[in-house]
Structure 1
Amino acid sequence: MHLLFIDESGTPPKPTNNDQSYFVIAGLVIPEDRWQGMNDKLSGLKLRLQYRGEVKWRFFAPNNHDPENPMKDWEQDRRNNFRNDIFSIITETKSCKIIACVSESPTAYGLGNVNSQDDLYFKTYKPVTERFQYLLQDITRASGRDTFGMIVADHRGKGDDDSMRHRHERLIRESGQYTSQYKNFIEGLFFAPSHLSVGIQLVDMVAGATWRAQAHNDRTWFDKLRTSFRSSPQGRIDGYGIARFPKRGWQGQILD
């Protein structure tokens, strides 16, 4: 069993926003037999550094001194060392893989079939599910055994969760001619509060680093994760570990 934890970075812009802005949904695939070890490493790291609370990408920003930030009194070097150790938990677990989709809002809204923030969110989510299915198929072929997976998403709110759950079920049910066939998926879409989920906290860091690289051309932390992205046999991640929505008409830089 493989668990795909997903979280987003950025906010899907409204259709009336004509600025070139990006939205990211990232996924971290953790095999079930690696979850406990990653949980223990993150818990141990927090304990050694006396960090109390959940890990969030935004807490590492130099000017973030919010009262709920456990690092509000930390110097930036200390924050960066902690962030580097968190990323090492991911990259040192070789069987963990990262998949993501980046949407470019003006290009997406120009398609004609993306008319709302909810549409844009789901259109960014769909390629992540497809690449999870491809990864499960790859593992099945390599191992000779059927490999299955399930998706755990960050809890956003009852209305948003219900909408995503229904759209996810329709996507899986109608898979076939125009979408991937999700033969390796188990059950539906699950939700977990981030403060109770190690996987959601780790993928929040992945999503933040990916958004930063795409939106601000700052690959400092993205490059530390690059080896963990799903890639082609030649090592390419564009189209394999990172999907672009929409691919046709894309105007911005291409992460690879």
Structure 2
Amino acid sequence: MHDIIEKAVSRMHLLFIDESGTPPKPEAAQQGYFVIAGLVIPEDRWPGMRDKLTGLKRASGYRGEVKWRFFAPSNRDADNPMLEWDPAKKNEFRDRVFGIITEAKSCKIIACSSESSTAYGLGNCNSQDDLYFMTYKPVTERFQYFLQDVTRNSGRDTYGLIVADHRGKGDDDSMRQRHERLVQDSGRYSSKYANFIEGLFFSPSHMSIGVQLVDMVAGAIWRAQAHNDRTWFDRLRPSFRSSNTGQIDGYGIARFPKQGWRGTVLD
């Protein structure tokens, strides 16, 4: 009976993550930006969002997975479902994809944007792999804060699971190991991620509705950060995790590193 009661009050949240941009090499002279975005979807909202995206694709004649890069005017990839679409039709479709996210009020966006030359100047960030993981870590922290907030506000246990886009066996294995050390190693981390379940899971983007949606989110954030184009960032802004006063800097979007940051602060 005790187990039945616990299951009744527990709730699962899925954090789908994907990146936009490429972590520049340490020797790269030009400042670069890299974004890892996360989309938090409560388990009971996932079926509805899946059905909406599937229905939108069917109604629009869109065949295949949704990717931010497909919307670029210069993208002529053979697998781009929008090769023959004009810009207006592309933007209408993109707006409706983002509407699926913003209409789901219980879904939240969390992300981290890294500034490469500033990060490499720290002394402890010395490779592209380091930069990737140090951009990933603040996303996990804010997911844990989100789960704590939901637990406190709802009065019921809330747990989370992370699903990332599959990049390749070597990259996935490295990330899985570093994630596990982050969550499990040393006493100072063991309670910090108390609401996490299992480790880091991977799914190919063409097989994951959640990864496809967060790919779009990551692209919009990167576009705003790297090119100061807030068109689609502002479309998504209501869905970012924020403070009680509506601030998203530090809440919905972390900056790495925060100290010495020279670029635009998204808020």
Aligned partner of 1:141 among 148, 152, 165: 152
Partner of residue 218, structure 1: 229
The alpha-carbon deviation at position 170 of structure 1 amounts to 0.2
Aligned partner of 1:9 among 17, 20, 31: 20
Q: What RMSD in Å do the two structures reach over aligned CA positions?
A: 1.1
TM-score (ref. length: structure 1):
0.98
**2:50 counterpart letter in structure 1:** N
**2:47 counterpart letter in structure 1:** Q
After superposition, give the CA deviation of every residue in 1:66-114 in whole Å (9 maximum; x if it has no partner): 2110001100100000000000000000000000000000000000000
Q: Determine if the alignment matches structure 1 residue 80 to structure 2 residue 91.
A: yes
SS at 1:33 equivalent: coil
Structure 1 residues 13-162: aligned runs within 5 Å:
13-162=24-173
Aligned partners of 2:182 and 2:189 also within 8 Å: no
**Matched residues, percent identical?**
77
- How many residues align structurally? 256
Distance (Å, rounded) in 1 between the aligned partners of 2:15 and 2:153: 19
The alpha-carbon deviation at position 45 of structure 1 amounts to 0.2
Aligned partners of 1:87 and 1:225 also within 8 Å: yes
Partner of residue 191, structure 1: 202
Structure number, greater radius of gyration: 2
SS at 2:38 equivalent: strand
The alpha-carbon deviation at position 177 of structure 1 amounts to 3.5
Distance (Å, rounded) in 1 between the aligned partners of 2:174 and 2:123: 21
Distance (Å, rounded) in 2 between the aligned partners of 1:56 and 1:182: 31
**1:75 counterpart letter in structure 2:** D
Aligned partners of 1:108 and 1:246 also within 8 Å: yes
Distance (Å, rounded) in 2 between the aligned partners of 1:247 and 1:149: 26
Distance (Å, rounded) in 2 between the aligned partners of 1:30 and 1:5: 8
Partner of residue 165, structure 1: 176
Aligned partner of 1:229 among 226, 234, 240: 240
Distance (Å, rounded) in 2 between the aligned partners of 1:228 and 1:78: 24
TM-score (ref. length: structure 2):
0.94
Partner of residue 238, structure 1: 249
After superposition, give the CA deviation of every residue in 1:112-159 in whole Å (9 maximum; x if it has no partner): 000100000000000000000000000000011110000000000000
Q: Which runs of 5+ in 1 are unaligned?
A: none
Aligned partners of 2:184 and 2:190 also within 8 Å: no
**2:88 counterpart letter in structure 1:** D
